[in-house]
Amino acid sequence: MEIFSQILGWVGTFFVVFAYFILVYREDITENSKSYQLLNLFGAIFIGVSVFYKTAWPAFTLQIIWALIAVYSLLKIKFKKK
């Protein structure tokens, strides 16, 4: 489980950093882009699993909040298009 937790943490970190990178460097990506929010959501979930395994509760709390913000944004995007 240790190695799985570490891999998830690294993949999640890549997702969050990549999301920020495309937000800054691609003009067609905004904070209202589904792809941007999905990267943040899965990044937060993956990092959350990793820090939960390590019982790093402050970091785990941050990832829950990060994921909830991404879910809220995705719902906002979904219902705005209808």
Spell out the domain ranges in the chain.
2-81
Please give the Cα distance from 41 to 64 (Å, whole number): 9
Q: What is the pLDDT of residue 74?
A: 97
Q: What is the pLDDT of residue 81?
A: 67
Q: What is the pLDDT of residue 40?
A: 98
Give 3-state DSSP helix, strand, coil % of the chain, rounded to 5: 85, 0, 15
Q: Which residue has the higher pLDDT, 81 or 64?
A: 64
Whole-model pTM above 0.85? yes
Please give the Cα distance from 75 to 81 (Å, whole number): 10
Q: Is residue 82 over pLDDT 70?
A: no
Q: Hey, what are 1's tokens? A: 């489980």
In sequence order, the 6+-apart residues with CB closer than 8 A to the CB of 71 are: 41
Query: pLDDT tens digit string along 7-61?
Result: 999 999 999 999 999 999 999 999 999 999 999 999 999 999 999 999 999 999 9
> Cα separations (Å) of 6 from 11, 16, 26, 53?
9, 15, 29, 9
Q: What is the pLDDT of residue 1?
A: 83
